[in-house]
Amino acid sequence: MRVGVAKETAPGERRVALVPEAVEKLRAADVSVLVERGAGAEAWFPDIDYAEAGAKIVTASALYSQSDVILKIHRPSPVEMKLLHQNQVVIGMLAPLLDPAAMAALAGMGVVAVSLDAIPRTLSRSQGMDALSSQANVAGYKAVLVAAEAYGRYFPLLTTPAGTARPANVLVLGVGVAGLQAIATARRLGAQIKAYDVRPETREQAESLGAQFITLRSAIDGAGQGGYARALTEQEQAAQQDELNDVIASHDIVITTAQVPGRRPPVLVTAAAVECMKAGSIIVDMAASDLGGNCELSKPGKVTITPNGVAIHAPLNLPASMPTGASAFYSRNILNLLLNYVTLGELRFDFEDEVTAATVITYGGKVVQEATRKLLQPASRGGAKA
């Protein structure tokens, strides 16, 4: 069996799906590896390192025509779709629920689509395959560095002959994987941190990393299914925004990470809250995308400076800005998932297995994963992106 590592073509993407270290592991499992020329270059993994690990460096067209399995980060672009062929397997962060029609197109081509972002995250054996967590971890770390770089003062308390610098007050809104890493990183830089989330269990997690947890008077319990938050009602959201407005104004740095699966991210930082912040304050909205963000004034992919001197950063792909470390983690995740399917150098899908049933989206010319299939049923089609 041949596995091909494709070069990512999405604008600004610098990561690669598999790093040279993993090539040796695949070869040990009787799998040969093809790597598209320059696939790892932007993440500082040169072709020579792949070749030395035993991979063959090939052109894009050779890669797509000769590989049984294509490893990627993003869903194939329309151009890449044309290069795929029947019975080929493509593994990546395909986001099937965001674009079920793309999955139907892959099924129609007879391509087997396997989505790394669909693994059941609570299974202990899938921890090593959890690319959502590994990449959120990178993003949470980098968000703090973005804030520190933009902030005109110190993060730690500093006492010097030239005076004393007070520590930065950092507020982390949303204490999932990215939020916890943001707390840990800001803490290492010496900041004073407060944190807030609607899931009550996050209090202990935030406190264990040195943050002070904020309890709102409205005391909303927003725990939803599978360890995620639920969408709040309009009244709950209004009460939350109201109380957060007062909290936000007293912070120098606000890092927001709040997400609700399948929904627009909740607005936690309103325009009114931004107006009350001091000049020189920084917001990093990690939830910002074309769907909106946690800050009402975020412009996805841009830095906005408000008239009162607050800089709102809305980065779209923080993991890509740390491509070497992010690729190394992603590579381990995709390798673990792939090896889950390899027996004696060949791919075998056992649909009785929980990980297979969740991650194999298309098979045998059909969309087989239940959640994606449901979205494609006539009654749900209005919700699916074309």
Question: Would you tell me which residues interact with ligand NAD (CB under 6 A)?
Answer: 121-122, 127, 130, 132-133, 136, 173-179, 197-199, 202, 222, 227-229, 232, 257-261, 266, 268
Q: What are the DSSP calls for 216-229, one per residue? A: -TT----B-GGGPB
| Helix, coil or strand: residue 137 | helix
Which pair of tokens denotes residue 66?
């000769």
Rank residues 1 and 260 by Cβ distance to ligand NAD and give the closer one. Answer: 260
228 among known catalytic residues = yes
Which pair of tokens denotes residue 326?
């992010």
Given the residues 121, 187, 188, 230, the one annotated as active site: 121
Given the residues 117, 130, 197, 285, the one annotated as active site: 130
Q: Which single residue is written with the structure tokens 């972002």?
A: 117
Secondary-structure breakdown of the chain: helix, strand, coil percentages, each rounded to the nearest 5: 40, 20, 40
330 among known catalytic residues = no
| Helix, coil or strand: residue 195 | strand
Given the residues 49, 99, 228, 242, the one annotated as active site: 228
CB of 359 to ligand NAD, least distance (A): 15
Q: Are 371 and 359 in contact (CB under 8 A)?
A: no
| Helix, coil or strand: residue 134 | helix
Taking the C-alpha atoms of residue 217 and residue 238, their distance in angstroms, rounded to an integer, is: 13
CB of 372 to ligand NAD, least distance (A): 19
CB of 83 to ligand NAD, least distance (A): 32
Rank residues 32 and 333 by Cβ distance to ligand NAD and give the closer one. Answer: 333
CB of 103 to ligand NAD, least distance (A): 21
| Closest residue to ligand NAD, based on beta-carbon distance | 176
Rank residues 18 and 286 by Cβ distance to ligand NAD and give the closer one. Answer: 286
Taking the C-alpha atoms of residue 32 and residue 219, their distance in angstroms, rounded to an integer, is: 55
Taking the C-alpha atoms of residue 292 and residue 12, their distance in angstroms, rounded to an integer, is: 20
CB of 73 to ligand NAD, least distance (A): 17
Rank residues 40 and 266 by Cβ distance to ligand NAD and give the closer one. Answer: 266
130 among known catalytic residues = yes
Taking the C-alpha atoms of residue 71 and residue 338, their distance in angstroms, rounded to an integer, is: 9
* Active site (catalytic) residues: 121, 127, 130, 133, 228
